[in-house]
Amino acid sequence: MQQRREFLMSAGAAAAALGTVGSVNAKDKAESLPLEAINNKFHNAVKDDGAAGAKDGFEGFGLNPIVQKSQDFKVNEIPDDDSDVTPQYSYKDPKESNSELITSLSTYDGDVVLGVSMILRGCATTFRNSWFVDDAIGIGFNDSDWADVGEPAVTASTDHTARFTQSDVASNALAGTVDIVNQDGGVATCDAIPKATVSLTGQFRLRDGGEPTTLWGSYSHTFGYEPTGTIQSIEGGRGGISLNLKLGASTYWSIADPSDPEDVL
């Protein structure tokens, strides 16, 4: 609880500091885009055709995106001295799968639109993993430079669920929590994460005096030792989102991909 209180205090201080950083650019701009509709089209296009689909999904709304994909995962090591965790209770390195993170970056009337989609395919697993703690998808950014516009949209493929969250999320992150459903009902013989695609789309506007600094699309996959594990808070910034988890849970692997808004502005 102390760690959570400290996070909330620091997050509140960061939000208060924004008043001294600068307001959103005051020149005439369009209102927020229909992010839910864009995200749904983006999500379905990625699910059907990967990175090529990501481009088609954005272009359907008159946006001209730069699309990139990454399989450069960071795998968190499990401590050798944790007697409750053994190798059979861990995901293999996702680089052994064909999972990938896809980002689609575009501009609209001076604002920047970033879609992030995580495709999970063939990640090996056994019992007692993601079913206990939500995963998270999000965007990390410098909140001294950027203000998010409108409410971001989050979508998960059939059988799984995802929702946008503002609860205990720092001002330098947008995040959605993701419930990956174990379709084997928790049977210890299940041998892979069910195939899933999760997408989040957000719109960003430069603050007065702000610089078009990097936006980081990100996905974090969790490991739960017991059903009581939860995400307590989410932070962002450089390198994508990071999770503060309740004791008994950890981030097993994460992936973050930088997008340079100057490429589209």
pLDDT, tens digit (0-9, with 9 covering 90-100), for 195-245: 889 999 999 999 999 999 999 999 998 877 777 778 999 999 988 999 998
**Which pLDDT score is estimated for 252?**
78
- Looking at residue 224, its pLDDT comes to 75
Answer yes or no: are the C-beta atoms of 172 and 143 closer than 8 Å: yes
Structure tokens at 258: 């930088």
Distance of CA 28 to the CA centre of its chain: 30
Three-state DSSP at 31 gives: coil
Domain ranges of the chain: 2-263
Helix (H) or strand (E) holding 116: strand 111-120
**CA dist., res. 11 & res. 90, Å (int):** 32
Q: What is the mean pLDDT of residues 60-83?
A: 75
Beta-carbon contacts of 132 under 8 Å, excluding residues fewer than 6 positions away, are 222, 224, 225, 226, 227, 229, 249
Query: For 38, how many CA atoms within 13 A lie in the half-sphere containing its CB?
Result: 28
Q: Which amino acid is at 147?
A: A
User: So what's the pLDDT on residue 99?
Assistant: 87
Mean pLDDT, rounded, for 47-58: 90
Regarding predicted confidence, which is higher, 14 or 47? 47
| Residue 42 tokens, joined | 């983006």
What was the pLDDT predicted at 24? 67
| pLDDT single digits (tens) 103-154 | 999 999 999 999 999 998 877 654 455 567 889 999 999 999 999 998 899 9
pLDDT for the residue 3: 35
Mean pLDDT of the chain: 79
More confident residue, 261 or 121: 261
